[in-house]
């Protein structure tokens, strides 16, 4: 069965230091993978997505992620954290169902805290 | 601007009352979804619709109902049968099913039982 695991429920970094949010997935097919950000009381905003093109994907606000098929990982990184990056981050896989449709599977989220 | 509009942002429900959350999109998307998010938790799929006049149950459909009479609209009714409805509700949409379609979200609606 398809699944997404976000390895850390909470991550704290100091402003100006690198960010690493980890995501592993399992899929029977070639998945599409996404990272979304959610600020308090808001909807989810797309940061970036991978759809079988370049394995290193660049997104908005300086974030990027690398698809590693051998490790079934899609970790999100940013070289230098900003206070405004403090939010909840979700890793999502879009995968093929046996019914012939696609389904979005969400990780449980990682709350990023940025310390001044 | 194209997007997904949810209303109201905050809604209070009395015991035994049905309430309806509105979701409208002008992205010309075929598929629409309703998710429930409880504090500190991920998203759980309530219902989804891939085409007008058709919808499917998600993982937690009990106590909820939907309709899809227009492509742009996918209202969610929280019925009195839903015993623990207090949560943040997110409506979303995407293009018709194929790999790599991005799912877009509205700003969400808070439902509280009083």
At B25-67, the pLDDT tens digits run 999 999 999 999 998 788 999 999 989 999 999 999 999 999 9
Flag if A51 and B99 touch (Cβ within 8 Å).
Answer: yes
**Cβ atoms A19, A77 nearer than 8 A:** yes
Q: Which of B6, B18, B28 is nearest to B89 (CA)?
A: B6
pLDDT of residue A97: 64
- Compute the mean pLDDT over every residue in chain B, rounded to the nearest whole number: 92
pLDDT at B108 > cutoff 80: yes
B60-64: Cβ within 8 A, 24+ apart? B60/B36, B64/B34
Which of A34, A38, A43, A48 should we substitute to test contact with B (largest number of B Cβ atoms within 10 Å)?
A43
Asked if residue B97 has pLDDT above 90, the reply is no
B33 contacts in A (CB within 8 Å)? 104
- Which residues from chain A sit within 8 angstroms of residue B92, using beta carbons? 44
Give the percent of chain B with pLDDT over 90.
Answer: 77
The answer to whether residues A93 and A72 touch, using CB atoms and an 8 Å cutoff, is no
**Which of residues 6 through 65 in chain A touch B, CB cutoff 8 A?**
30, 32, 34, 36, 41-46, 49, 51-52
Alpha-carbon distance A106 to nearest alpha carbon in chain B (angstroms):
6
CB atoms A46 and B104 under 8 Å: yes
* Cβ atoms of B110 and B8 closer than 8 Å: no
Pick the residue with more confidence: A9 or A102? A9
**Site from A10, A104, A107 to mutate, B interface, most B CB atoms within 10 angstroms:** A104
What local confidence, expressed as pLDDT, does residue B16 receive?
Answer: 86
Angle (CA) B41 B109 B70, round 5°: 115
Query: Comparing A56 with B1, which gets the higher pLDDT?
Result: A56
Average pLDDT score over chain A: 91
Arithmetic mean of pLDDT, A73-90? 97
The fraction of chain B above a pLDDT of 70, given in percent, is 97
How far is it between the farthest Cα atoms of chain B? 42
Rounded average pLDDT over A79-105: 84
């Amino acid at each position: 069965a398809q699944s997404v695991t976000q390895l850390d429920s909470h991550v704290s970094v100091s402003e100006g230091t690198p960010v690493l949010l980890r995501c592993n997935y399992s899929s029977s097919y070639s998945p599409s993978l996404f990272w979304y950000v959610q600020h308090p009381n808001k909807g989810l905003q797309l940061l970036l997505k991978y759809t079988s093109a370049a394995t290193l994907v660049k997104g908005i606000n300086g974030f990027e992620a690398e698809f590693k098929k051998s490790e079934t990982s899609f970790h999100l990184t940013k070289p230098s954290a900003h206070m405004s990056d403090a939010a909840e981050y979700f890793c999502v896989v879009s995968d093929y169902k046996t019914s012939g449709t696609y389904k979005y599977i969400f990780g449980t989220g990682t709350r990023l805290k940025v310390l001044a | 601007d194209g997007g997904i509009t949810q209303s109201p942002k905050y809604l209070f429900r009395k015991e035994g009352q049905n309430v309806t959350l509105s979701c409208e999109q002008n992205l010309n998307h075929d598929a629409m979804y309703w998710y429930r998010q409880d504090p500190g938790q991920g998203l759980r799929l309530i219902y989804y619709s891939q085409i007008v006049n058709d919808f499917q149950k998600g993982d937690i459909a009990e106590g909820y109902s939907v309709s899809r009479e227009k492509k742009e609209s996918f209202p969610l009714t929280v019925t009195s049968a839903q015993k623990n409805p207090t949560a943040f509700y997110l409506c979303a949409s995407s293009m018709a099913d194929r790999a790599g379609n991005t799912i877009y979200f509205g700003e969400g609606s808070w439902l509280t039982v009083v």
